[in-house]
Amino acid sequence: MSNIWGYRPTVAHATDNALTGYKVEATDGSIGKVDKHSGDVRAQYLVVDTGPWIFGAQVLLPAGTVVGVDEENEEIFVDRTKEQIRNAPQWDREKHIGDARLLDEIGRYYGSTRF
């Protein structure tokens, strides 16, 4: 994928639509709800509160992992499995806001052709 930090042209959603609160579905089940999303053109992403799935952790998903948005049912679909998301570099909002090194690491992980 050429830009993991941008939504795919095939993913239709209103750019002014706040995705906060939408349920997030991996290819093999639900992973949580969107706690925050960034619409910054250079770094679009979702912060997903995983609740009890990963001991209350949050994960950062680049917008390029999104394959669909169902605005009517408030659901977002990503093209990764729960295991792939669980194995991603750990992200903590309190520690990593503005951490360019970690964003690069996450981008490399999700931008990998191994998926």
Positions of the chain with pLDDT under 70: 1-2, 13-17, 55-56, 94-98, 113-115
Give the pLDDT score at 3.
85
Residue 10 lies in a domain: no
Angstrom distance (rounded) from CA 19 to CA 34: 7
Residue 11 lies in a domain: no
Overall number of domains in the chain: 1
Give the pLDDT score at 78.
96
Helix (H) / strand (E) element for 69: namely: strand 66-70
Give the pLDDT score at 89.
86
From first CA to last CA, the distance across the chain in angstroms is 11
DSSP single-letter state for residue 42? T
Picking from 91, 22, 30, the residue whose alpha carbon sits closest to that of residue 11 is 22
Domain that holds residue 83: 23-111
Give the pLDDT score at 40.
78
Q: Report the CATH number at residue 40.
A: 2.30.30
